[in-house]
Amino acid sequence: MKESISENITMLIEDTGRYIEAKTELWKLKAVDKSTEMAASLVSQLIVILTAFIGIVALNTGIALLLGKWLGEAYYGFFIVAGFYFLLGLILYLARKTLIKTPFYNAVINKVFK
């Protein structure tokens, strides 16, 4: 009887060790899955942003040249476009918490705990 209790305790300790190892491996796999998902999402978003940026630069150059042609000097158009972006940047700076920080924070939290 004494041997069966000691065998049961030994088996329980071994099973607990295997359980802890399995749980640790599961946590590692979940961490790798989440980090890979976040990295893939970041890369795809960066590619879209880069493509959009190139398009916006080309469009703004065309608008600046067109405005410059209408106003008689090419640099007038570039000043107008630059002024527009200065105002847009000022508005974004003043509303950065509502428009940028909070949505970004929420998106990261949702991605991590999804």
For residues 62 and 108, give the distance between their C-alpha atoms in angstroms, rounded to a whole number.
Answer: 36
Q: Is the pLDDT of residue 1 over 70?
A: no
Q: Is the pLDDT of residue 5 over 90?
A: no
Q: How would you label 16-39 residue by residue, b for 16+ Cβ within 10 Å and e otherwise? A: eeeeeeeeeeeeeeeeeeeeeeee
Q: Is the pLDDT of residue 113 over 80?
A: no
State the average pLDDT for the chain. 91
SS3 state at 114: coil
Q: What is the pLDDT of residues 18-72, one digit of tens each?
A: 999 999 999 999 889 888 988 898 899 999 999 999 999 999 999 999 999 999 9
Phi first, then psi: give them for residue 31, nearest 5 degrees: -65, -45
Whether the Cβ atoms of residue 63 and residue 77 lie closer than 8 Å to each other: yes
Per the model's pLDDT, the better-predicted residue between 91 and 1 turns out to be 91
